[in-house]
Structure 1
């Protein structure tokens, strides 16, 4: 698989799965044995826990969820993406009641793509800062 093909896989995941909530696309794009290397200590690091984060944490809390990809860099079987996940805070979000405010979470992640599917994920984001801001009003 070329680096460009791997970037396309990552772009599809962001558009179809995170922004679109497409379970069928999620199933097609996740490798058996996927590992989320950025899962919190003690939390599941499998594909289903990643789906749960998108579908049961982000989607109910953020109306009009979008993913804007700013940059993608690929080398070998890895793709690094700088992106922003945005939406309007309309539901409970990790213990913070709806504020009606616009939310933007900046993310940098690395995905190892194997046979056109997500095999491993590492990431950092500004979620903690966003939640603190929402709590402070």
Structure 2
């Protein structure tokens, strides 16, 4: 039962925070001691770094951003999600001007929950490959 609740929390984060940009949901779902173990070098490893990535890097580049969850596996306090973040590239993305193309960033996340909030994060994604492809277009 707890694993299903944990999956639902991660699903809520993906829908309300990533896709919709809901700041209230972000504040409710982030533990004060949150740490992103795979933040890019030089980036804030706390909750503000996550918010910056979504609201200041990805959302301006693709304001119609959506999240597609393909799979979730939960065990104990961990939830692993295989997903895609997709949208239309209508604004600059890490220095690449808008192309108007639909882009898809593949992601695998592992989130540790504590007190029904995001407490730790590990992840891999294809953002750098997507940016490289856009730069060649």
TM-score, reference length from structure 2:
0.97
In structure 1, the residue matched to 2:27 is: 27
For residues 132 and 48 of structure 2, what CA distance do their matches in structure 1 show? Answer: 27
For residues 59 and 46 of structure 2, what CA distance do their matches in structure 1 show? Answer: 19
User: Deviation per CA, 1:73-105, whole angstroms, max 9, x where unpaired?
Assistant: 000100000000000000110010000011000
For residues 132 and 49 of structure 1, what CA distance do their matches in structure 2 show? Answer: 22
For residues 93 and 29 of structure 1, what CA distance do their matches in structure 2 show? Answer: 26
Matches within 5 A, 1:1-137: 2-137=2-137
Structure 1 unaligned spans of 5+:
none
For residues 115 and 11 of structure 2, what CA distance do their matches in structure 1 show? Answer: 15
| Poorly superposed stretches of 4+, deviation over 4 Å | none
TM-score, reference length from structure 1:
0.97
For residues 2 and 105 of structure 2, what CA distance do their matches in structure 1 show? Answer: 29
Structure 2 unaligned spans of 5+:
none
For residues 48 and 42 of structure 1, what CA distance do their matches in structure 2 show? Answer: 13
**SS of 1:93 mapped into structure 2:** coil
TM-aligned CA deviation for residue 41 of structure 1: 2.5
TM-aligned CA deviation for residue 42 of structure 1: 3.1
Between stretches 58-67 and 11-20, larger displacement belongs to 58-67
Supply the RMSD in Å over aligned alpha carbons: 0.9
